[in-house]
Amino acid sequence: MAPGDVPPDDHAYRVLVSEIMLQQTTVATVLSRYGPFLDRFPDLPTLAAAGANEVRDAWAGLGYYRRAGLLQACAQSVMEHHGGAFPQKAAQLAKLPGLGAYTSAAIASICFGEAIMPMDGNIERVVARLEAFKGPLPKEAAQLRKKAQKYVMGVDTGHVAQAFMDLASSHCGANSTNCPTCPLQKLCPVQGPDALKIPQKQMKKPPIEVTWHLLLTHDGERVIMERRGPGGIMAGMLGFPVVDGPPLGAYYAGSITHRLTHRMITAHVYLLKWDQQTDKTAPAIVKDCNRATLKQLPTLMRKVAERSGLFKV
């Protein structure tokens, strides 16, 4: 990923940012945000020293906003406890805020050459089929990681991991396989329809239904906003105030639905004209209704802004 002249810690920082972004976010979305984020926070010290709100706003549109705080906490921990140099072993990296088994292994193997397989969903699938692993995931993921170690002993781990990812894409998909042309066909004990039964997945719970009433108080050019509290959905992010129910005198602009991992949000959108009384009591956060403001908003709030018809895009 990085050219040979990039110092390992700089490489590790870039891998860290990309891997945290790619958790639960599509590649296409990450590609559009990765470059601007690195332009704003080009290295570990810059990210560690930035304001929390600045980092959250730069994360807008990527979803799962708690990750932004954990990413910064990780940078601060490396600066404070490790002298600005990343630990080089996955076991040590896993102690940093926000780093799970996969991200720790990815940094350790790709940047520092540790012989450990970074197990994302694609690599899990290939290894599970090669091992005819019947245990349900993610419940027995630790057992599968142990079995994967034999594939990276004495070889370039980064190249092996990339080869497994390519194989998952070209031959060993979640819903289809191309076993006859697979280069590992002779090594694989499960093929064709049987392969699609592996790995076994645990049943997911249905999302919790959530209803929000969002109030956009505006004068046609500006709108009142707030920064959400430290806990709950979109913690610390910029957005429109959530009110208890349909506000008196407000225009109903319709509703939108937005799916999160564990929640399905139905957001009802209300518009209220800004009057002289509002002007006296308006909070500190007043934003122009323009494209620059839209870029600061999380995806749900951007959808609400677009539904309102107030924003000039």
Instruction: Give 227's DSSP letter.
Output: E
Compute the distance between CA of residue 271 and CA of residue 305 in angstroms, rounded to an integer: 10
Compute the distance between CA of residue 146 and CA of residue 110 in angstroms, rounded to an integer: 19
Q: List Cβ<8 Å contacts ≥24 apart for 145-149.
A: 145/101, 145/117, 145/119, 148/117, 148/119, 148/123, 149/115, 149/116, 149/117
Please give the torsion angle defined by the CA atoms of residues 303, 21, 165 and 124, in that order, rounded to the nearest 10 degrees. -90
Q: What is the DSSP string of 101-128?
A: HHHHHHHHHHHH--S-----HHHHHHHH
How many whole angstroms from its chain centre is CA 5?
28
Which member of 19, 114, 124, 131 is catalytic?
19
Q: Is 226 a catalytic residue?
A: no
Compute the distance between CA of residue 135 and CA of residue 158 in angstroms, rounded to an integer: 26
Helix or strand run (H / E) with residue 166: helix 157-170
Residues designated as active site: 19
